[in-house]
Amino acid sequence: MRAIQYHEFGGPEVLQLERIDELEPASDEVLIETRAIGVNPCDSLRRQGLWKDDLPLIPGSDVAGVVTVTGDRVQRFDVDDRVYGTIPHLNVSGTRGDRQGVYAESVVAREDRLAVLPEGVSFEVGAGLGLVGITAWRALMHFGDLEPGQTCLVHGGSGGVGHVAVQLASTLGATVIATASADRRDIVRELGADVVLDYATPDLEAAIDDAAPDGVDVVLDHRLGEYMQLDVNVANYGGTVVAIGGNYDSPTIEDLTEAIGKDLTIQPMDMFNEPDIAGVLERLSHLLRKGRLTVEIADTYRLKEAAEAQRAVDEESFTGKLVLRP
């Protein structure tokens, strides 16, 4: 089969389209004929050597496709099922339990990494949802414990995680405040945000205070190094700041008294620590089926254009997600 691999860390140019042997599924795995592949910022960070993986490496974690082979112990899926999911992105030696990334024509995946993709939902949407959907769900529901009627602040409401988080919080019945660039505010508002603020507003904190005079109950922050003190200042008593991503640029709290006085929780998280990936995916599938959730697909690329797709992800000049198609 054809797959993207890299044999050294570096820029997008290290990504190579190669022919490799197709893996056979283990007893608890399925073989998926790939129809679409999600491209995420962490794919680029990993390619640059942030996690010092063993090489060679097939990038990517988010996949959607059709089951072609099932292992002997697989119970949840049958051949020809449409599935999507996210596979903890590991090196090809499988030292942490999974055997390859997903930038490939075929993928093996454990059944507990997958869910059925509802009829009528495109493979592109399925491939775009896994990582960002679980991240947003885990941040808001598990750690934020967001409830109807509470107020949620989503930094980067047009981004991959952000635009899904806006929809989840809105569907739950929370008041949603989001930040976005001026040219994307209308899109974020259409996704369900009650208030959308230009993140370049000179006094963003005052604008958030005006929108949420009683304070924000849950903050979802992908740039903690830039916004930590602001998050503390706008949070309500007992509020939670959930930090996602990995490049926080040494976040600091200038006034710790404010955080202590509010009994704030500042919670960094990694979505791959989620113990029930399949369970969260099934909840997201329900929302997809009901038309309460979607993924904005900004652009699609061929598998051989993986380097171009990762360059675009690094530039962050789009709303939603990018996907590859084999």
Q: Are residues 241 and 141 in the same domain?
A: yes
Contact assessment for residue 213 and residue 203, using Cβ atoms and an 8 Å cutoff: no
Domain that holds residue 147: 131-271
Considering the domain architecture, whether residues 243 and 137 belong to the same structural domain is answered as yes
Q: How far apart are CA 22 and CA 35, in angstroms?
A: 16
CATH of the domain at 167: 3.40.50.720
Question: Within a domain: residue 283?
Answer: no
| Residue at 289 is within a domain | no
Tell me the pTM: 0.95
Mean pLDDT by 10 residues, the chain (326 residues): 97 98 92 98 92 90 98 98 87 49 95 97 99 98 98 98 99 98 97 98 97 98 91 98 78 87 95 94 98 98 99 92 98
* Residue 5 main-chain phi, psi, to 5 deg: -135, 160
- Residues 305 and 239 occupy one common structural domain: no
The count of domains in the chain is 2
Mark whether 110 and 152 lie in a shared domain. no
**Cβ atoms 70, 79 nearer than 8 A:** yes
Query: 46 and 139: one domain?
Result: no
